[in-house]
A and B are shown apart, each in its own frame.
Chain A
Amino acid sequence: MHEFRFEPVQMPAAAQALRGEVRAFIAEEVAKGSFTPSGNSWSSFDPDFSRKCGERGYIGMRWPKEYGGHERSALERYVVNEEMLAGGAPVGAHWIADRQSGHQILRYGSERAKRTILPRIAAGKCFFSIGMSEPDSGSDLAAVRTRAAKVDGGWNISGTKVWTSGAHRTNYLIALARTSPKGEDRHAGMTQFIVDLSHPGVTVRPIYNLYGGHDFNEVVFDQFFVADDMVMGEAGMGWTLVTGELAFERSGPDRFLSTHQLLVESIRAVGADPDARSASDIGRFVAHLATLRRMSISVAGMLERGAQPSVEAALVKDIGTAFEREIPETFRHLIPTEPTLGDGASYAELLGMTILCAPGFTLRGGTREILRGIIARGLGLR
């Protein structure tokens, strides 16, 4: 049986110093009016803000300096990210590139990919989408039907990706495609490609989400050419790469801070002298939040040590996203409010936005059911 140990991690002094810097930067930007803190922090696309983050060294923090990175620790990166989310900063433009795509390119990309792409990501000028899901391939990712055929000097990709966040505004996506027919081992024969969305042969169409926002897209490739040096790793390694990528996607503070703004504004609305029920519900959430944060930081410590905490990451995401979903459901009782459609400026709008975003928390990045399957495998049940 896998023993889940979330060992304690001591935040180094450098990380705590960095925390003060980031907090001051966010406060300054809010004071200047460059953004209003949003409940949708890592889905808020703001290239100007991303550029400022790049200038301050908050993107690609762990990458080597020769590729534009800053050679800082996983814990320093963790501190920057949690401060951004807690502050409701619009980090959505660079979030995916920083969290997973850049890291994958650093590990598996060609030298040209590393040289041409990573410094621009770190500068906050180059953004990524995720090209995994398809119309007939959601949780069952191995069912992807997008194909890549070998041609002289590269590959021709044809197929359709869906739920592709930000693809109408990002520069690249990493597409998972089948490069040899499905055989005995359905996880074999897949490959990841770096796709430049500015090239011809790709069509991006909006898919409006539950709250009416344009974040998702359908991305259609028609004989889209990708050069050999934009293949990630070796052809056929796609499944290994994708599962490794998902570990980075699952354990971070973005998996329990999605409703942090609503929590903060609800505490404000309840006031300094809460009734018994409000006090205990707030206390319960604080207890959950403190515990989740400790577990998530512990996973960051494992990543820092080079471990592969994919089961621990699944566990943090499962309980973290369940926590996120409870917040609107509880506060709507404590602060009777009719949720209102809008951009989140009033409490009623923030509540409304959160209710409509909430179903996504336990779907994106691996559904609750997929995560529980991973945990069960870790427990030796599969």
Chain B
Amino acid sequence: MSGIRDDLLKTVDRIFGEHCPKALRESAEAGEWPAVLWRALEETGLDRAALPEADGGSGLAFEDAMLALRRSAYHAAPLPLAETMLAGRLLAAAGLAVPQGALTVAPVRTSDRLEFVHGVSGATVVGAVHRVPWGNLCAHAVVAGELDGKGVVGLVSTAGAARGVDKNLAGEPRALLTFDHAPLIASAALDDALARLHAEGALYRSVQMAGALERSLEYALQYANERVQFGRPIAKFQAIQHMLAQLAGQVAAASAAADAAVEASCLAPDEFAVSVAKSRVGEAAGKGAEIAHQVHGAMGYTREHDLHYSTRRLWSWRDEFGNESYWQSRLGRAVAAGGADALWPMLSRL
């Protein structure tokens, strides 16, 4: 591991170790903005870590920015880091300046569309978008769609746009935003802007799930070694050992799939690698969370143990930016259209 990566890991773990206690997770679930934690991220530039240096990034490689994101998920940090990174990358890709502060993106639901129209004083956006992550707490959203038949990315204020706020299973806010000819503060063409938003969002969720899975495995191993039943730690029972071995397999596969997608997506999301990652990691999230809870018994079924901060995120994130079926179907249709004999050449090109 490189020295830069080591230092980065230390910094990230220190920030989340210091600023992400249980009380902060609880207050965030109650709807409070995690101001202190966010400020700590901004001070170290982690919120802009995925941006190219020329666009205000911190000069980290994309892989390292994704490692930071993964650690934030490992620590179950309740903030829109993925969304801010994603919004910034879309703006930068379109040649637009990235504003300060936390950002979100829309539409995130694969069936939602926003309409972009020319107004008297520039382009505007119209429509309702569901379950926008942190949409009620971020001042700006980066929106994507089509204008004049071409991909477009724009920056819009969320002031007055929130019509309601749901929570995902992890208690993270998901807002219904409605735009009625809201002016775009800035906009520019970007090829396949919406597809790019979805794919990059799916990539980031995959990375986050890999982090949450890693933590779930650690919790399960620790618990199995500590919990004594029938006169010995339950980790000594073969049934438990085999469950943990399967959990380790899911975690390892999820990591491998997420890593591959990150490597392939340094400049722009790679459709194939992201489809593989969101499909495989999403599946691992469900299977992994199931095993982690089974190992924890009743203790993990309570809020007394911290496992729920990881597993509730897994059960939320696997359904955001397209669930497994969505990405599997895209992948399956592409493979079928290419023909059976094209499968192996495609798989082995890397």
Contact = CB atoms under 8 A, between A and B. Distances in A.
A302 to B, nearest CB: 13
Interface string A283-304: 1101111111111001000000
B273 to A, nearest CB: 8
B249 A319 contact: yes
Given A284-B324, A290-B347, A376-B244, A298 B256 contact: yes
A257 to B, nearest CB: 10
Interface in A335-382: 369, 371-373, 375-376, 378-382
B337 interface: yes
A381 B244 contact: yes
Given A1-B221, A264-B344, A283 B279 contact: yes
Interface in B265-288: 272-273, 275-277, 279-280, 283
B241 A281 contact: no
B333 A287 contact: no
Nearest to A278: B332
Nearest to B349: A16
Contact of A375 (B249, B260, B280): B249
A263 B327 CA distance: 19
B221 A380 contact: yes
B54 interface: no
Contacts of B332: 274, 278-284, 286
B343 interface: yes
A282 B332 CA distance: 5
A234 interface: no
Q: Would you call the interface of chain A mostly helix, strand, loop, or mixed?
A: helix
B275 A381 contact: no
B241 A382 contact: yes
B331 A86 contact: no
A381 B336 contact: no
Contact of B241 (A268, A280, A376): A376
B235 interface: yes
Interface in A1-54: 1, 4, 6, 8, 11, 19
Contact of A289 (B221, B336, B347, B350): B347
Interface of B: 218, 221, 224-225, 235-236, 238, 240-242, 244-246, 248-249, 251-253, 255-257, 259-260, 263, 272-273, 275-277, 279-280, 283, 324-325, 327-333, 335-337, 339-341, 343-344, 347-348, 350
Given A282-B335, A315-B249, A381-B241, 20 more contacts: A264-B340, A272-B337, A279-B328, A280-B324, A280-B325, A287-B275, A287-B283, A287-B327, A290-B280, A291-B276, A291-B280, A292-B253, A294-B260, A315-B248, A318-B246, A373-B241, A375-B249, A376-B245, A379-B248, A381-B235
Closest 3 interchain pairs by CB?
A: A283-B328, A283-B332, A283-B331
